[in-house]
Amino acid sequence: MSVMRLGYVHVRESDLAKAVDYYTNVLGLQEVACQDGKHYFKCWDEYDHHSLVVENGGLGLVKMGYKVATQDELARVEKGAEQFGLSVSRVSAGENLGIGQAVRCTLPSEHVLELYAEAEQSGTQVGVLNPDPWPSDRSAAGIGPDRLDHLLLTAEDVQTNVDFFTQVLGFRMSERIIPGPTNEELLGAFLFCSNKAHDIAFVKGPNGKLHHFAFWLDSWNDILRAGDILGRNNVKIDFGPARHGITRGTTIYFLGPNGNRNEVFSGGYMTYADFPCITWTADQIGKAIFYIHREVNERFNTHVT
């Protein structure tokens, strides 16, 4: 598969100062740069320049970046995206701070996706020579997730987005939600380009909207610790701690100070090219989303930014 991972999420925040404080002191990300009104953050176990960009004004997703392994693959997906019929453009190196040239396209769901093969590797604090397993100040402020993990977007037409990701970008579908045995319309699709249970997901909803973006934690114990930190900081909990039926992961969903939804996520099975897609029928949607609780709160279903 040609795409490696979700490299960055770029979001709008209606109160930028509050957002910067939140990503720094509650989520415990490292601010690596601030330029032209944009704040750049990364997690402690990420090698590239940044994984989160926040800018002032409104809410929701400006764009997201997925990193591919080589320039050849970048050229290949560029061509594929054009053939698929998307609006595609090249972005010069450095137009995205710390990121090489990119291919920008607008998904059928109106979200902006950038693909790129190169980024400045600023490395991590533990380094690559006889490294410690984690930096000594990992927990000094905030949750301190290892890395950005995935995002979930809404799309009026889930199937066409899935077609693009699978046919052009080489993603595969690990799980899907359908009305039932006699109606296989995609209500939700969970796609992977790695060995994770998902690298991106789409559920039926308004085009162009962000449901959440998620950070990885190493264990269910770290989920509890994250919850404590969210509680201490009076962050609005959307749902969790909980277990997903889909992905089997463990989770807390919460709303940042301006309303963008984040998730801390841990666990889940491994996928491979021969992974048999798991199907959830709509009558089991509760168990699919929150396996223990088996029902989904209204806000989770309707709040997007």
The residues near 232 (Cβ < 8 Å, ≥ 6 apart) are none
d(CA 177, CA 276): 14
Residue 156, φ and ψ in degrees, nearest 5? -65, -35
Minimum separation from the CB atom of position 118 to a copy of itself (A): 9
Catalytic residue among 10, 39, 111, 244: 244
Instruction: Decide if 223 contacts 242 (C-beta within 8 A).
Output: no
d(CA 190, CA 197): 8
d(CA 224, CA 253): 12
Instruction: Decide if 266 contacts 248 (C-beta within 8 A).
Output: no
Is 10 in the active site?
no
Could you give the string, one character per residue 189-228, with x where binding to a copy of itself holds by CB under 8 A and - elsewhere? Answer: -----xxx---------------------xxxx--x--xx
d(CA 244, CA 246): 5
Of 95 and 137, CB closest to a copy of itself: 137
Cα 14–chain centre separation: 20
Of 182 and 276, CB closest to a copy of itself: 276
The window from 12-20, 131-139, 151-159, 160-168 that contacts a copy of itself (CB under 8 A) reads 131-139
Tokens of 290: 């929150």
The window from 16-24, 53-61, 182-190, 229-237 that contacts a copy of itself (CB under 8 A) reads 229-237
- Any idea which residues carry the catalytic annotation? 150, 198, 212, 244, 253, 263
Which residues sit at the interface with a copy of itself, rule CB under 8 A? 4-5, 45, 47, 67, 69-70, 121, 123, 128-134, 136, 139-140, 146-147, 194-196, 218-221, 224, 227-228, 230-232, 234, 237, 241-243, 245, 248, 250, 252, 267, 269-270, 272-281, 284, 287-288, 291-294
